[in-house]
Amino acid sequence: MERYKGFYIDKPYGNNVFSYEERKNKKIFVPKLIEGDLEDVQVGDDIVFNEIDEDNEIKAKGLKNLVKYKFEDKIIYIFDNHNHAFYFWMKSLKNKEFNKGCKLVHVDQHKDMREPNHYNVDVDSLNDVFTYTNEVLNVGNFIQPALKKEIFSKVIIIDSSYGFDVKIDGEYVLDIDLDIFSKDMDYIPYDFRLNKIKELIRGAKVITVATSPYFIEQDHAIKVLKELFNCDIIV
């Protein structure tokens, strides 16, 4: 049973907690998951992330759908807000798509290593994982639970130019936040970032990708996504 069917969060938890009391809009949308390809990754009409920044209420629209994309032997989950990675890691683990205890390679403008309010989640129950992902976790605190539950033995964070020079041995799950291509990261040459991530894509069996609506313009994020998964380049 697929749990991501499209729903609203209208209470102050999960990603809806940010500036909840100060905002006029009180709800955000979580799109449904479909199986498809890169053409199915499109910007939707619903607000998926809402925050106050310097007295301005930012209503960020996210993806029309979350997309499970199969490319050769690779399973790729594409979503907007990054905390959904936690659910898809557990789903992939349950499907034996990677081995528990491998490394996590996290490519992101942000480290996302904050602590959640608690770690009370049964990782063997996808229903419990789904609730935890959407009600407890947010875009900044979804990695620590995966480490605490020993889903991954360690996380390798790539958030700078020198980070891309790290050599990674053994099995890993690749987690990409497309905000690594935001304007703030333009001090790193675009082609350098693109090619380094393509190399990481080749070595990963499971890949999670966040389009991060609040942190990068979505049309640009989708353009980069299509360049990263160019069929002529991944062999």
Q: What is the pLDDT of residues 181-196, one digit of tens each?
A: 999 999 999 999 999 9
Number of domains in the chain: 1
Amino acid sitting at position 211: T
Q: What is the pLDDT of residue 1?
A: 67
Q: Is residue 77 part of a domain?
A: yes
* Position 212 in a domain: yes
pLDDT tens-digit series, residues 83-107 = 999 999 999 999 999 999 999 999 9
Question: Is there a domain that residue 181 lies in?
Answer: yes
Structural domain contains residue 121: yes
Q: Cβ(50)–Cβ(25) under 8 Å? A: yes
Separation CA 25–CA 39 (nearest Å)? 30
Q: Which domain range does residue 118 map to?
A: 66-228
Tell me if 22 is assigned to some domain: no
Residue 127 lies in a domain: yes
Averaged pLDDT for residues 63-91 = 96
pTM to 2 decimal places? 0.96
What are the pLDDT digits (tens) for 194-203?
Answer: 999 999 999 9
Is position 47 within any domain? Answer: no
Q: Do the domain assignments include residue 32?
A: no
pLDDT of residue 2: 79
Q: Can you read off the two tokens belonging to residue 42?
A: 């499109």
CB 18, CB 47: distance < 8 Å: no
Instruction: Identify the CA nearest to 137 among candidates 113, 169, 165.
Output: 113
Q: With cut-offs at 50, 70 and 90, classify the pLDDT of residue 235.
A: very low
Return the CATH number at 125: 3.40.800.10
